[in-house]
Amino acid sequence: MKTCSIPVLCACVLAAILLAGCSGGPSGAFQGYIEGEYVYIAAPLGGSLTNLAVARGDSVKAGQLLFALERDSEADADRQAEKNLAQAQSQLDDLMKGQRPTEIFSLEAQLERVKSDLKLADAELARREQLGGADVVSKEELDQARAQRDADQAQVNQFAADLETARLGGREDAISAARAAVAAQAAALDKAKWSFDQKQQFAPAAAFVHDTLYRQGEWVAAGNPVVVLLPPENLKVRFFVPETALAQIKTGQGVEISFDGAAKNYSATVNYISTQNEFTPPVIYNRENRAKLVYMIEAKISPVDATELRPGQPVDVTLSQ
């Protein structure tokens, strides 16, 4: 009876392991693991961490406070921007209103006075024109009366124009400039409020707190993540199939996930099929012991089932019937 040496026996065992990793086992299952797509929550502005509202392992709801950074300076800027906007709006309103009521009343009174003078000048001119025809008044007196009437008419026109201008308010270019100033201050206020709000960050969706990266009191640079979340819908399974089984799997196809100690199978849906093949680990480059090529498949796990699974967990995947 022929026996195998120890080196030959090790090579046989290794080959058997590689073949098992590249294809389904006796039950037709493929080997894989659970993968999570983490959400890193950061503030776009830096500051001291004043409130870390969650801890690693917590479950959070959408909209729940995660952390807050110091924002006293942002609050001051917000208040100053509100005052600047109020001032700019007041200046615009003042230009739109025109002159004050007492000034309008004064112009109206002066207009009535010059209208009375014009009426009197008209009557005086009419009398002198009649007397001039009878050679009672001289031509010089008649010209003087006509000139006075014309002067009074000019004053009436002047005060009427002044009154209309006073009621119109500021000039159009001044009003346009005031409107632009109001718009600029409103934009500055929006920016100040945005900066103030960004110092607090909230959970974008219901999730599991995978980790916290800072402690309360530490300085957090702008853009550095403080909390790492794992929403249930971001859990997926990665598994590997040999080229011979690739034709059996399509995007949108259901698969079943099982693992040691599982009370039931968990469902997932294939959403990605790799277009490139890869070596099964460990990678062996010599021609005699090179591993078979496989293709990576990803499947989204149902959010209901995802709460019972953990990233990195080894699983077996079978195609749904």
In a shared domain, residues 151 and 290: no
Query: Is the same domain home to 246 and 280?
Result: yes
In terms of domains, do 81 and 188 share one?
A: yes
Is there a contact between 232 and 207 (Cβ–Cβ < 8 Å)? yes
Whether residues 100 and 84 fall in one domain: yes
Band (pLDDT 50/70/90 cuts) for residue 278 is confident
Q: What residues make up the domain containing 255?
A: 6-37+231-319
What is the residue-wise DSSP string for 136-174? -S-HHHHHHHHHHHHHHHHHHHHHHHHHHHHHH-S-HHH
User: What tokens does 222 get?
Assistant: 């702008």
| The pLDDT of residue 11 is above 60 | no
**Distance of CA 70 to CAs 7, 46, 52, Å?**
65, 9, 12
Task: Give the per-residue pLDDT at 137.
Answer: 67
| The pLDDT of residue 317 | 93
- pLDDT value for 156: 81
pLDDT exceeds cutoff 90 at 80: yes
65 shares its domain with 82 = no
- Bridge partners for 61 per DSSP: none
For residues 157 and 292, state if they share a domain: no
Closest CA to 242 of 27, 22, 30, 28: 22
pTM of the model: 0.65
Residue 73 is encoded by which pair of tokens?
Answer: 């300076």
CA proximity to 296, closest of 280, 312, 318, 274: 274
User: Which region among 4-8, 101-105, 155-159, 240-244 has the lowest average model confidence (pLDDT)?
Assistant: 4-8
Identify the residue with better confidence: 293 or 39.
39
**Residue 95 or residue 42, greater confidence:** 42
Q: Is 251 helix (H, G, I), strand (E, B) or coil?
A: coil
Question: 298: domain CATH number?
Answer: 2.40.30.170
Structure tokens at 56: 């690693």
- Over residues 230-264, the pLDDT tens digits come to 999 999 999 998 888 888 899 999 999 998 888 88
| 162-166, 192-196, 220-224: range with lowest mean pLDDT | 162-166
Q: Where does a domain end: 174, 193, 212?
A: 193
Whether 1 maps to a domain, the answer reads no
Q: Evaluate the CA torsion angle 270, 274, 277, 279 in order and state its sign.
A: negative
pLDDT band, residue 1 (cuts 50/70/90) = very low
Task: Check whether residue 66 and residue 173 sit in a common domain.
Answer: no
CATH number of 211's domain: 2.40.50.100
> Under a CB-based contact definition with an 8 Å cutoff, are residues 226 and 41 in contact?
yes
pLDDT recorded at residue 261: 85
| 204 & 57 share domain | yes
Residue 64 dihedral angles phi and psi, to the nearest 5°:
-75, 140
Residue 85 domain flag: yes
The residue among 168, 193, 218 that closes a domain is: 193
Do 180 and 96 fall into the same domain?
yes
Pair 141, 286 in one domain: no
Domain tally, the chain: 3
**Res 299: pLDDT:** 94
Do 300 and 252 reside in the same domain of the chain? yes
| Whole-number pLDDT of residue 248 | 87
Q: Residue type at 143? A: D
In a domain, 103, yes or no: yes
DSSP character at residue 74:
H
Is 291 in the same domain as 142? Answer: no
Last residue of a domain, one of 177, 207, 230: 230
Q: Distance between CA 46 and CA 212 in Å, rounded?
A: 17
**Beta-carbon contacts of residue 239 (< 8 Å; ≥ 6 apart):** 30, 31, 32, 33, 255, 296, 297, 299, 315, 317
Sign of the torsion angle spanned by Cα atoms 158, 163, 166, 167: negative
Tens of pLDDT, residues 31-65: 899 999 999 999 999 999 999 999 999 999 999 99
C-alpha span between 21 and 13 (Å, rounded) = 13
